Amino acid sequence: MSKLLMSFIFDAINWKLKIMKKWLCKICFLWENKNRTVVIFLLVGLFVSLGFVYVLLVRNKRLNKENRLLQRQYEAVDNALFRMEEMQKTYLQYENMKKIDDIDLKTETDSILKLSSLLDDKKIIVVRISNAACVSCIQDFCAVLFQYFSGSEIIYISDYGSAKELFFMKQILGIENQVYRVEALKLPIDKEKKFYVFIIDKDLSIEKFFLPHYEQKGLMIYYLDLLKKTL
């Protein structure tokens, strides 16, 4: 519809410009023949036409701006839907994960301990942070997570290779807890290098698997509300 309107505006402008060209020729001819009254009348008509052309140009500029805005909004929605589809595929592919191996974790001081040594009778949240994951997703989720749970209820496990990288990551995310390191968590989802969260108990059974994304803050809050009722 907007393309048709823009086409109409362009046609109207061209039509007006052609008329104005003819009027200018007439004005020059009449001025030479000293027919001043008609010249004044034509000049008034010319200025009115110029005003009309100006209005059309302004309207066309506004329509172009609106079209660009609509195009950007369409692309944003399309990209969001694509990401949601990809996340849903990933979730469906890995939702049946039920248990994790008792892996070795490296502390920030490079000592080694078992995952099971961090678990007791109470279920706890595991936040898996990948170096290749969406930083905004991690930041936004952690910002909300801190409002729901204390540090003692969360285990952070990253795949960062060095303590230096880990230090900068903690500064960016505002994490004050110990962050453990392990390259592979021995879960199928880990090969995707995504940021994900789940609950674990002392038997190393896992549940409530979740893939946070910064564009789905409402879903993050829903998930954390659910965890609050579960833990």
Strands across the sheet with 196-200, in order? 112-114, 104-106, 179-181, 154-158, 124-129, 196-200, 206-210
Q: Structural domain tally of the chain?
A: 2
- Mean pLDDT over residues 186-191, rounded? 82
Query: Which has the closest alpha carbon to 91: 184, 182, 183, 194?
Result: 194
> Could you tell me which residue, 4 or 185, shows the higher pLDDT?
185
Q: Is the pLDDT of residue 167 over 80?
A: yes
pLDDT reported for residue 4: 53
Q: Which residues contact 42 (CB under 8 A, 6 or more apart)?
A: 23, 26, 27, 30
Domain with 90, as residue range(s), is 2-94
Residues 145 and 199 in one domain: yes
Query: Which has the closest alpha carbon to 199: 94, 110, 106, 128?
Result: 128
The dihedral of CA 27, 29, 32, 36: what is its sign?
negative
Residues 16 and 80 in one domain: yes
Which amino acid is it at 20? Answer: M
Mean pLDDT of the residues in the chain:
77
Q: Is the pLDDT of residue 156 over 90?
A: yes
pLDDT reported for residue 169: 86
- Mean pLDDT over residues 52-58, rounded? 68
pLDDT band at 1 (very low <50, low <70, confident <90, very high): very low
pLDDT band at 115 (very low <50, low <70, confident <90, very high): very high
Classify residue 72: in a domain, yes or no. yes
> Could you tell me which residue, 13 or 74, shows the higher pLDDT?
74
Query: Which has the closest alpha carbon to 214: 173, 185, 183?
Result: 173
CA distance 179 to 158: 7
Q: Is the pLDDT of residue 92 over 60?
A: no
Of 49, 74, 94, which one is at a domain's C-terminal end? 94
pLDDT band at 131 (very low <50, low <70, confident <90, very high): confident
pLDDT band at 161 (very low <50, low <70, confident <90, very high): confident
Residues 194 and 134 in one domain: yes
CA distance 221 to 144: 7
- Mean pLDDT over residues 19-36, rounded? 55
Query: Which has the closest alpha carbon to 30: 12, 45, 15, 13?
Result: 45
pLDDT reported for residue 185: 85
| Cross-strand pairs, 105 | 113
Q: Is the pLDDT of residue 174 over 70?
A: yes
The dihedral of CA 132, 136, 141, 143: what is its sign?
positive
Which amino acid is it at 192? Answer: E
Q: Is the pLDDT of residue 155 over 70?
A: yes
Residues 144 and 85 in one domain: no
Token pair belonging to 49: 């036409």
Q: What are phi and psi of 189, to 5 degrees?
A: -65, -25
H helix intervals, 153-216: 163-173
Most confident of the ranges 32-36, 54-58, 102-106, 191-195: 102-106
CA distance 122 to 126: 13
Query: Which has the closest alpha carbon to 60: 112, 125, 12?
Result: 12
Residues 225 and 111 in one domain: yes
pLDDT reported for residue 198: 92
Residues 71 and 108 in one domain: no
